[in-house]
Amino acid sequence: MIEFVDSLSECGNEVVYEGLMVRCGGRRKIGRSFIHMRHSVLQSRLLDYYKRNPQYKQ
Per-residue model confidence (pLDDT) at position 52: 63
Per-residue model confidence (pLDDT) at position 41: 72
10-residue averages of pLDDT along the chain (58 residues): 49 65 64 68 62 64
Per-residue model confidence (pLDDT) at position 2: 43
Is 43 in contact with 52 (CB distance < 8 Å)? no
Residue ranges covered by each domain of the chain: 2-50
User: Which DSSP category does 15 fall into?
Assistant: E
Strand order in the sheet with 47-50: 2-11, 14-26, 33-43, 47-50
**pTM of this prediction exceeds 0.85:** no
Bridging pattern class, strands 47-50 and 2-11: unpaired
| CA–CA dist 14, 33 (Å, integer) | 38
Per-residue model confidence (pLDDT) at position 54: 66
